[in-house]
Amino acid sequence: MAGIGTGTAPDAGALAWRGGFGRLWSAAAVSRFGDALRGTALPLLAYALTDSPLLISLVTACGFLPWLLFGLLGGAVADRVDPRRAMWGVDVLRGLLMAGFAVAVALGQASIGLLIALAFALTTLQTLFDNAATVLLPSVVPTTALATANARLMTGQEVLGRFVGGPVAPLLLALGAAVPFLADAATYLLAAALVASLRIAAPPGPPAAPGRTVRHEIGDGIRALRRDRVLRACCAAVALGNVGVGALIGTLVVLVKGWLGAGDTGYVLVTTGYGIGMVLGGLLAGRVVAALGGPVRTLLGAGLSQAAVLMLFAAVRSLVAAAVLLGLFGFAGMVWNVLETTVVQQRSPAELLGRISAAFRTVATAGVPLGALLGGAAAAGWGANTPALLAGALLGGGTLALIPVRTAFDGSRTSHTVP
């Protein structure tokens, strides 16, 4: 089984924008732009439809629940079918769903129940789309360029979503409540066309075996994840860390407004700092890996840096300092995300990649809603800055799970480059 090494192969690792990767990047960026439009408009619409915090929170909860219910199934399906066709087919369905929803909004027929159903349906389809995208990327770029490709994909999505989609959403809302949702539908259909235009060979699927059910195939992915020491340790680190991330995200507005005494503008400043850090982390991930001497040291450094930054974040009472610290948190988080995704792609057998990725994502996602509940309880019981302290401790503890497997990284056979 291949892994991530510390060497580089400049020629093999070169990433060409022309052809498959350029189209895939464009599809991902366009889709993320649409997601940002919907992500801004949907909560505002929910708030206009009901004054019940519980019902509004259900809209957010349905953005996580399908991963717990169908994430493993999505991985099994992604390994069985052509991932390119799965991706464009899912995006066509999501585009039609969004177009229908936009019509309902325009006619004044939207309800909080419809919003909850829409969020659930979109995320259910996303379980197949995201796993298929993980399977497809190694067929589009060389193995040695996976880290570069992941970094550019994530950075492009962050830029288009946070710094383009976010500011554009209020302008579209001014034109009408349905306009952002119509634009989101159009981005899904455009992304589907870009993915459908790829001309690449489908990755090899698992060999047919009599009596093998989807349940058995899902079990194969779970067992493969459990057997690989590096993947198992990374999954444990991410799962524990995401409990902390959930605690931070779920109470960030309370910390900024209650602990720092800032208003809406201050909240935007802090979250913008985070976004800038994410973008810089994607652009500079390769230099960080080179400076720290390899991926395992980088993962350890990124995880421990996030923990330390959150401890400081919980202690400061300056809005500017908080924005800078959350920017550093975003920087380290993006570096971690790039390497984590590449670890899964490079260490997984091609025929099991969708299922291993699905098992990884399902375990990781489960920690977010749990963390949000813990963060809310901690903030209510011990103060608005307590969830950040809790998040730092959990991220630091999760990162330590990588120490026993650090030699497994060093002994791996596959090299990679990052930009």
Q: Calculate the alpha carbon distances from 87 to 4, 192, 210, 305 in Å.
A: 27, 7, 27, 35
How far apart are alpha carbons 228 and 222 in whole angstroms?
Answer: 10
Domain with CATH 1.20.1250.20 in the chain: 20-200, 227-410
Query: Quick one: CATH architecture of 227-410?
Result: Up-down Bundle (1.20)
Backbone phi, psi, residue 414, to 5°: -95, 130
Average pLDDT score over the chain: 82
Q: Which of 26, 350, 14 is nearest to 160 (CA)?
A: 26
Phi-psi category of 416—alpha, beta or left, where left has phi over 0 and alpha has psi -120 to 50?
beta
Q: What is the pLDDT of residues 378-397, one digit of tens each?
A: 888 888 888 899 999 999 99
Tell me the torsion sign for CA atoms 149, 279, 355, 202: negative
pTM: 0.75
Q: Give the per-residue pLDDT at 9.
A: 34
Q: Which two tokens stand for residue 359?
A: 């098992």
For residue 28, pLDDT over 80 is answered with yes
Query: Does residue 142 sit in helix, strand or coil?
Result: coil
**Residue 148 in contact with residue 286, Cβ under 8 Å?**
yes
Residue 230 CB coordination number (10 Å): 21
What residues form DSSP beta bridges with 4?
414
Q: What is the DSSP letter of 3?
A: -
For residue 87, pLDDT over 80 is answered with yes
Q: Give the per-residue pLDDT at 401.
A: 87
Backbone phi, psi, residue 4, to 5°: -100, 130
Average confidence (pLDDT) over 129-143: 83
Q: What is the pLDDT of residues 294-315, one digit of tens each?
A: 788 899 999 999 999 999 999 9
Q: Give the per-residue pLDDT at 71.
A: 81
**Residue 342 in contact with residue 4, Cβ under 8 Å?**
yes
By residue count, the chain amounts to 419
Q: Give the per-residue pLDDT at 206.
A: 52
For residue 280, pLDDT over 70 is answered with yes
Q: Give the per-residue pLDDT at 264.
A: 65
How far apart are alpha carbons 183 and 173 in whole angstroms?
Answer: 11
Q: What is the pLDDT of residues 230-279, one digit of tens each?
A: 899 999 999 999 899 888 877 787 788 778 887 767 877 888 888 899 99
Confidence class of residue 143 from pLDDT cuts 50, 70 and 90?
A: confident
**Mean pLDDT lowest for which of 298-302, 340-344, 356-360, 369-373?**
369-373
CATH number of 20-200: 1.20.1250.20
Q: What is the pLDDT of residues 8-25, one digit of tens each?
A: 333 334 566 666 888 888
Query: Does residue 414 sit in helix, strand or coil?
Result: strand
**Mean pLDDT lowest for which of 47-51, 101-105, 157-161?**
47-51
**Residue 33 in contact with residue 161, Cβ under 8 Å?**
yes
